[in-house]
Amino acid sequence: MPVLTNTHIDFMGKRRLAFMISGALLLISLLSLAVQGLKFGIDFTGGTLLEVGYEQAADLGAIRETLAKSGFGDAVVQYFGSDKDVLIRLAPNESVEAAKLSDKAFAALSAAVNGKVELRRVEFVGPQVGDELTEDGGLAMLYALIGILIYVAMRFEYRFAFGSVIALIHDVLITLGVFSLFQIEFDLPVLAAILAVIGYSLNDTIVVFDRVRENFRKIRKGTSERIIDISLNETLSRTIITSGTTLLVVIALFLLGGEIIHGFALALMIGIIVGTYSSIYIASASVLEMGISKADLMPVPKEGAEVDDRP
């Protein structure tokens, strides 16, 4: 975009302020995760899932009230596809079998509408499966970060690898912090969204790092801070267009996709915003703080190159 090609924003001059903002957000996130933890969904905690169909548009408020009167006050109720299809998640109860729980819940729903409701699906998720998913999900994020560390170190330089991983940890912790602070249900789609955020944020960071390396080799005069600022300004147009268009799609998913993917879309929205910010202020600023210089990015001369150039 022409309006962004000649920008001269002093990004690195404001990195101290950015570090303080990020530090505050990370502190709040870590405190919330330590005190409240995450509100795990049925995928992780185990429980019972019912899919029911109504002849008329279902009133979610009335369904929640009916279930609460029957002892299911913590049931999660949401539309599933249309306003006649409803998905109900029941928390596990150690004193009652899962099959009896589902029968009791459906009996209450059927009595409330004189039998004009159809039970379409019942699924049981045991706590052992939930524990395995929790462990596997955590390992998936850990392996992803280790793989990224190795990849970026091989492609660029070890300081860039640490800078990118610092930014990704920053993005994941803040996203998890929002879900913990507001006690938004954390389920498998949300975990998938966080893994997608890692990939999205890394892609944005790699584009910036590519331009930083190119400018370190091309620009003869200038401090490391100045060269990184030039690189960030040159990639700003691409960053805004990419993040903006992606964000529009995710907002549409959040508003129009139904309650079943609200958590997924919300995690992506937070991740895109925080990831774009971290690519500029956390990844690049971390590399600068670790003392990156022009000499670190110059091509290594090949052995025997001087002999080959002789006439």
Least reliable range by pLDDT among 70-84, 184-198, 239-253: 70-84
- At residue 178, the pLDDT reads 95
Residue 2 pLDDT level (bands cut at 50, 70, 90): very low
Give just the sign of the alpha carbon dihedral 12, 8, 201, 30. positive
| Nearest alpha-carbon partner for 228 in 6, 4, 10, 5 | 10
User: What is the pairing mode between strands 39-40 and 185-186?
Assistant: parallel
Listed in order, strand segments (DSSP E) in the chain are 39-40, 47-54, 76-80, 82-90, 117-125, 185-186
pLDDT in tens, 128-161: 556 676 677 778 778 877 887 787 777 777 788 8
Listed in order, strand segments (DSSP E) in 117-193 are 117-125, 185-186
| DSSP 8-state code for residue 182 | T
Which residues on adjacent β-strands are paired with residue 185?
39
Residue 125's identity, in one-letter code, is V
Residue 303's identity, in one-letter code, is E
Concatenated DSSP letters of 4-23: GTT----TGGGHHHHHHHHH
What's the rounded Cα separation, in Å, for the pair 198 and 279? 11
- With contact defined as beta carbons under 8 Å apart, do 212 and 231 qualify? yes
| DSSP 8-state code for residue 146 | H
Element (H, E) at 217: helix 188-218
Q: Helix-strand-coil percent breakdown of the chain, rounded to 5?
A: 70, 10, 20
What's the rounded Cα separation, in Å, for the pair 219 and 280? 20
- At residue 266, the pLDDT reads 94
What's the rounded Cα separation, in Å, for the pair 269 and 249? 10
pLDDT in tens, 161-211: 888 888 888 999 999 999 999 988 888 888 889 888 888 888 888 888 888
User: What is the pairing mode between strands 117-125 and 47-54?
Assistant: antiparallel
- Please report the domains of the chain, with CATH numbers, ordered by start residue: 10-39+129-296 (1.20.1640.10), 47-125 (3.30.70.3400)
| Nearest alpha-carbon partner for 140 in 205, 199, 204 | 199
- At residue 21, the pLDDT reads 94
Whole-angstrom CA distances from 308 to 284, 299, 301, 303, 304 are 38, 17, 12, 10, 6
Q: Is the pLDDT of residue 56 over 50?
A: yes
What's the rounded Cα separation, in Å, for the pair 126 and 98? 9
- With contact defined as beta carbons under 8 Å apart, do 94 and 47 qualify? no
Which residues on adjacent β-strands are paired with residue 186?
40
Rounded to an integer, the average pLDDT of 104-109 is 88
Structure-token pair, residue 302: 């090949």
| pLDDT > 70 in the chain, percent | 88
pLDDT in tens, 216-226: 888 877 788 88
- With contact defined as beta carbons under 8 Å apart, do 85 and 79 qualify? yes
- At residue 181, the pLDDT reads 93
